[in-house]
Structure 1
Amino acid sequence: MPETVLVTGAAGTIGQHLVRLLVNDGCDVRATVRSEAAAAKMAGLGANPVFADFEDRESLAGALNDVGAAVLITPAHEKADLYARCFIDAARRAALKRLIRVSALKAAADGPTENTRLHACTERYLEASGLPHVILRPHLFMQNLLISVQSLAADGTFSFSMGDGRMGMIDTRDIAQCAARCVLSDEHLGRTFELTGPQSLSWHDAAKVLSEVLARPVSYVPVDPQQQFKSLCEFGVDPWMAGVLRDYGTAYSAGWGNYTTEAVAEITGRPATGFRQFASDVIAPLVRNTGE
């Protein structure tokens, strides 16, 4: 009988890829959802949707009933540490065999963003829980570029607040594959991995690759982190999230993300996906369809 694996945040960027992989591996996948639309999406991917809320102890207990392993993905939110702690407590009560935590890049108590610091708190709590676990810390998502498909199609430009900083950005499909491997095996229990792509690139470097892949000029237009913060707040973005994006932009601009690791290859047995491949697979079809 296949092991039942629970995935939280299953409708997100990493979660959807992960659900597909686990279903294809023959797992009985249970996915937490909070809306009928998300439930329908998960059912369409072959998972069993279950309504649960991180702050609802009873719903977490139900979601974890008879589950062997879980992947814990929480949203970027000022209550993310609370959400994760509630889930970890429920997982302890359920005697979970393996918990894979998708954390944050270089999680540390003295990190440059509130998100970095909250994930560090969660990691310490998980380590103290006694649960068998693996911690995955992914770098900046290549998929963040998806928010710029419209501008890429319209005038060949995109903007972020990372300045000229170089970053070991990663394809979220690789994060999902790492999580899938870890959740189905005891091999990496007790370890923490910094997940990156194969190269450290600036967004200017990425623009050059996009120009070649799209066969049209593409340029990156840097935005000042503080100006971005003000603009996002004016557009109604939650100030906490706007502040996190500002602080990440400042850190990346200063070189904080300029590194790569071999963690993806160690876990999956193959090299991490390069930006050119990502651009060809994901961005190019969307830009072409948008421009039609």
Structure 2
Amino acid sequence: MKRILLTWVTVILNIITLNAQNKTIHNCRIVVPINNNYAKSDSLHDIMKRYVKTGLPGIVMAVYSEKDGWWAGAEGYANIERKRPMENCDLQYLQSVSKTYMAVAIMQLKEAGKINLDAPIKKYLPAKYTGIVKNAAAITVRMLLNHTSGIPEYSTDPGFVAYVMEHPAHKLTTEFVIGTIKGKEPMFAPGSKHVYCNTNYELLAVIADAITGDHAAYIAKHIFEKLGLRNTFYRNDPDYLHYPNLTDSYWDVLNTGKPANISAIQRANVASYIGDDGIVCTPVDAVKFLKG
């Protein structure tokens, strides 16, 4: 999984998007004091320039250390077609790092006495999902958090993959995503092994919804607001994946050195998942979260 380092590097290769308007998101600014004399700034810029020269559309990086404070830098483009330069304030997709935020929310609910990590997930899951997940009475919340549940992976199911490839710009419902595993045998007995699985965090989001009424609103209030993450967004409004500062997505699907702009596909993909994906933010905000 992602190491908890106070350094965040976002590389725009397969995964980035943007609305065609040339605006900025509300009050988008770097809200930390940037140390222009950061000891390794030249080396970091050289690294980013080197990777841009190899074909990455753009790179943006934020770093924090107790000794030197904050530094942030960017190279390349947020949009190749219009030659829009990448900037520190551009929003980036966190993809699976979004799971870390979901885990924090669950741990906060545990601290508040609203969830027992060692209780079976059947206690918290809505009825429409308990019939889908085999062993729901034996799998605990903790097993979802640490990927020891044995629940099948939705994203590698052949039927799921086929549907996504045939409908690449279609936004999927949570019911469809989780429904993919219906009737599937567990990968292993609950608690007996560890296998990273996106389905675990889809279910954690559903559980958090059942407890809070809206897990995304809970995360915004209890994580984003508390840490002052003003440039971090997750399902906060229907248009959040069309914010103008969200960088474009590119995929060199034919390995020709000419990546195609797949922003529409990326937006639909990210909009389809809860708990295991969905957060966009600036690199500085990502580091602020890790610090917090």
Q: Does TM, normalized by the shorter one, top 0.5?
A: no
The alignment's TM-score, normalised by the length of structure 2, stands at 0.30
The alignment's TM-score, normalised by the length of structure 1, stands at 0.30
